Amino acid sequence: MADLKEEGFPVIDRFLNSSVKMRESHYEMRPLIHLAPRHKLTQAYLALHDRLERGSKKPRRR
């Protein structure tokens, strides 16, 4: 990661952990956000989404 940052690549600071709850979500065929909205992994996905959305709002270079 440090090498990518050093070379100027955009690297985000959010990481997603693995969870049994994700497997349960797949098994029940329900998105994790609906199956367990308060779960730690759900919150991590929401934080990642917010971070990506904020990053996409920057003006683009032409």
pLDDT in tens, 16-48: 888 999 999 999 999 999 999 999 999 999 999
Contacts of 32 (CB under 8 A, 6+ apart): 21, 22, 25, 39, 41, 42, 45
What token pair was written down for 54? 């904020």
- Within 10 angstroms of residue 25's Cβ, the number of other Cβ atoms is 20
Task: State the pLDDT confidence band at 51, using cuts at 50, 70 and 90.
Answer: confident
Amino acid at 62: R
Which pTM does this prediction carry?
0.69
